[in-house]
Amino acid sequence: MRKKDPDAISTPTVQVIERMFTLMDVLASREDAISLKEISEKTGLHPSTAHRILNDLATGRFVDRPQPGSYRLGMRLLELGNLVKARLNVRDAAIAPMRELHRQIQQPVNLSLRQGDEIVYIERAYSERSGMQVIRAVGGRAPLHLTSVGKLFLAADDPQRVRAYATRTGLAGHTKNSITQLPVLERELMKIRQSGISHDDEELELGVHCLAAGIHDDQGKLVAGLSISAPTGRLDKEWAVKLQGVANEISRMLGYHGPNTP
């Protein structure tokens, strides 16, 4: 009876999928093409086995063969990656973690984006038990410098952009606590860059204190902010840690692999 080659693969199995992943990880470790000999050495697979799987991957355009005997990752992976990226929606990624955070702290949790010189609220998790009336409804807008999330976006801007914002808007205030002077705002933004957490201390609405943490996409860009609103005096310092953790979780869901913010 003919002895079967242990590396022979006649039908798809979990083993061949594992080998496929191993091969693709090796290809991903290099920008240029890699020879079959080097691939075999790095993966521990017999050259014939590696060759067979790589050729199947090349048929599906998951792997390219720029020259005979050399391989690199193919454009099909980029096409699929772009499809996945297009489906990623910050609101869809955030809604479940927001609801869980609200369940833990019993205060409104808000998701906001920047549009020009304002932030717009696109989602909120809250209940009547929070004891605080929701003043800014979903779709509502507010100036950047008066909100915790807006300050996050200003902190991500360079100084010239911040000064241009101040000139355009005049830093108009809404309450006696509003920041209306550029030097004060610049000092506030410096603190935010260091801590990763932003505060609105009754600057938009009297009696309401907010804190926010940023959400980043796969390119590391700040794309949204997550904030907690609470009656002044009820804010718990421990919420900042929870908030930052949830913002980091949402960022990872959007493909962010950078270091967690402080």
Quickly state the pLDDT bin for 5 (edges 50, 70, 90). Answer: very low
Tokens of 14: 């979990």
Q: Where are the beta strands (DSSP E) in 157-196?
A: none
User: Could you tell me the strand order of the sheet in which 222-231 lies?
Assistant: 141-143, 118-125, 109-115, 222-231, 208-216, 197-201
> Sign of dihedral through CA atoms 198, 203, 205, 206?
positive
Q: Which helix (H) or strand (E) holds 225?
A: strand 222-231
Across the chain, mean pLDDT equals: 87
Mean pLDDT of 15-28: 89
Q: Which residue is associated with the tokens 């000064």? A: 163
What are the chain's domains?
14-84 (1.10.10.10), 88-253 (3.30.450.40)
State the pLDDT at residue 249.
95
State the pLDDT at residue 9.
44
Above 50 in pLDDT, residue 129? yes
Which residues have a Cβ under 8 Å from the Cβ of 243 and sit 6 or more positions away? 101, 197, 211, 212, 213, 226, 227, 228
Mean pLDDT of 82-104: 84
pLDDT in tens, 24-35: 999 988 888 999
